[in-house]
């Protein structure tokens, strides 16, 4: 097969940032996707409906002419989130979902939730209103190894959340382990997971063998190859609980290539071609449309997109860098070539 047509995909997890970054990040999101779930971990975070509405306006201001794309906004949960505000935000069509960052788990998560019990009233309101809970599923305890933080989160917290709120829609974001894939596959229709292109394509050897490659550093961190294989199996299984979420996360080159580099892989521009490459290698191109374009809308109870995209087996060269608001942004695999490309 040298060409495939798909219903236009959506990205169910991305970071666009704010201000001058939006000119680039919005254009890149709109290159391949019709809708993107926009993460709220700005500085300061998007914690209220009013902040989400204002952020959406700033994003839409950068929509390229003729683009077929829309942002879907999320709220950042804190210990003090007001359930009435988020339910009103969902009713007004401003808020699509809410994001749980355990405090300190990742980039700009300092205002996150310090104790999940503190947001039980909020989760109850979300369950009642049908608002999905999106979870960064890692514990932050200093004594838990960074490679185990997702699996421990599932045991200590996720199982309790799912049991305590039997109708709450939950997305375990950017899963990285066999344990996560198995949990989501066995947890029924209302528990789902996003999987990034980089966690499908890479494992920790790619980051660490032969030198330390900071552009592969993200959270949750890349795991062993057996976990990578479990993610590929989940994504290509046809199970509707798994769908596309790039977790594309722009950082300036100077913040990535330094003694203490920050977490995030920038893939927005080429992620769709990365997914096509992985599905092709797994002989599962026939499963790509469900993963990229159908399973997400079904979970979020949103319409499936009505337009299509075409991918061809043609080399795609990933740019060596992008200019982002006067700074330099280096995408993942800068300067390398993928075997599939989107027909523009
Ligand atoms: O690698 C990551 N980068 N993981 C996250 O959870 C956050 C993201 C970011 O905001 O840069
Ligand atoms: Zn993210």
- Is 10 a known active-site residue? no
pLDDT score recorded for residue 344: 86
Which residue, by CA, sits nearest to atom 4 of ligand 1? 219
Q: Is the CB of residue 15 below 6 angstroms from any atom belonging to ligand 1?
A: yes
Per-residue pLDDT of the chain (344 residues; tens, 9 = 90+): 899 999 999 999 999 999 999 999 999 999 999 999 999 999 999 999 999 999 999 999 999 999 999 999 999 999 999 999 999 999 999 999 999 999 988 888 888 999 999 999 999 999 999 999 999 999 999 999 999 999 999 999 999 999 999 999 999 999 999 999 999 999 999 999 999 999 999 999 999 999 999 999 999 999 999 999 999 999 999 999 999 999 999 999 999 999 999 999 999 999 999 999 999 999 999 999 999 999 999 999 999 999 999 999 999 999 999 999 999 999 999 999 999 999 98
pLDDT score recorded for residue 200: 99
DSSP code, position 283: T
Measured from the Cα of 263, ligand 1's closest atom is: 1
pLDDT score recorded for residue 1: 86
Q: Catalytic: which of 247, 280, 286, 333? A: 247
Q: Is the CB of residue 105 below 6 angstroms from any atom belonging to ligand 1?
A: no
pLDDT score recorded for residue 315: 97
pLDDT score recorded for residue 107: 82
Q: Please state, as a whole number, how many other Cβ atoms lie within 10 Å of the Cβ of residue 141.
A: 13
Q: What are phi and psi for residue 169, nearest 5 degrees?
A: -80, 125
Q: Is the CB of residue 219 below 6 angstroms from any atom belonging to ligand 1?
A: yes
pLDDT score recorded for residue 108: 85
To 5 degrees, how large is the angle CA 186–CA 203–CA 329?
115
- What DSSP assignment string belongs to 199-229? HHH--HHHHHTTS--GGG--SSPP--HHHHH
pLDDT score recorded for residue 285: 98
Interatomic CA distance for residues 125 and 108, integer angstroms? 25
Q: Is the CB of residue 41 below 6 angstroms from any atom belonging to ligand 1?
A: yes
Looking up tokens 């949990």 gives 183
Distance 59 CA to ligand 1 centre (A): 19
Measured from the Cα of 262, ligand 1's closest atom is: 11
> Which of the ligands is closest to the CA of residue 11?
2
Helices 225-235 and 178-186 pack at an angle, to 10 degrees, of 30
CB contact at 8 A, 137 and 159: no
């Amino acid at each position: 097969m040298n060409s495939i047509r798909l219903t236009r995909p959506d990205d169910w997890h991305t970071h666009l940032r704010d201000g001058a970054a939006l000119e680039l990040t919005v254009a890149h999101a709109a290159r391949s996707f019709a809708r993107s779930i926009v993460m709220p971990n700005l500085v300061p975070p998007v914690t209220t409906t009013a902040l989400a509405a204002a952020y959406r306006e700033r994003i839409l201001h950068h929509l390229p002419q003729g683009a077929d794309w829309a942002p879907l906004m999320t709220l950042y949960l804190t210990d003090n989130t007001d359930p009435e505000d988020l339910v009103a935000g969902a009713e007004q069509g401003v808020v699509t979902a809410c994001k749980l960052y355990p405090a300190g788990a990742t980039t700009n998560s300092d205002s996150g939730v310090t104790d999940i019990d503190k947001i039980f009233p909020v989760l109850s309101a979300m369950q009642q209103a049908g608002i999905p809970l999106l979870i960064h599923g890692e514990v932050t305890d200093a004594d838990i190894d960074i490679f185990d933080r997702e699996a421990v989160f599932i045991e200590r917290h996720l199982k309790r959340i799912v049991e305590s709120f039997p109708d709450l829609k939950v997305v375990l974001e950017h899963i990285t382990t066999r344990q996560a894939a198995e949990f989501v596959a066995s947890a029924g229709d209302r528990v789902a997971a996003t999987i990034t292109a980089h966690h499908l394509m890479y494992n920790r050897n790619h980051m660490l063998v032969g030198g330390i490659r900071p552009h592969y550093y993200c959270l949750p961190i890349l795991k062993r190859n057996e976990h990578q294989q479990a993610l590929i199996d989940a994504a290509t299984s046809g199970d509707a609980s798994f769908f596309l979420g790039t977790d594309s996360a722009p950082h300036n080159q100077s913040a990535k290539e330094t003694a203490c580099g920050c977490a995030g892989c920038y893939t927005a521009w080429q992620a769709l071609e990365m997914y096509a490459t992985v599905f092709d290698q797994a002989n599962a191109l026939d499963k790509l449309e469900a993963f990229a374009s159908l399973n997400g809308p079904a979970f979020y109870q949103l319409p499936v997109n009505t337009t299509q995209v075409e991918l061809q087996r043609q080399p795609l060269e990933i740019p060596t860098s992008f200019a982002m608001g006067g700074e330099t942004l280096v995408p993942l695999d800068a300067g390398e070539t993928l075997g599939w490309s989107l027909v523009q």
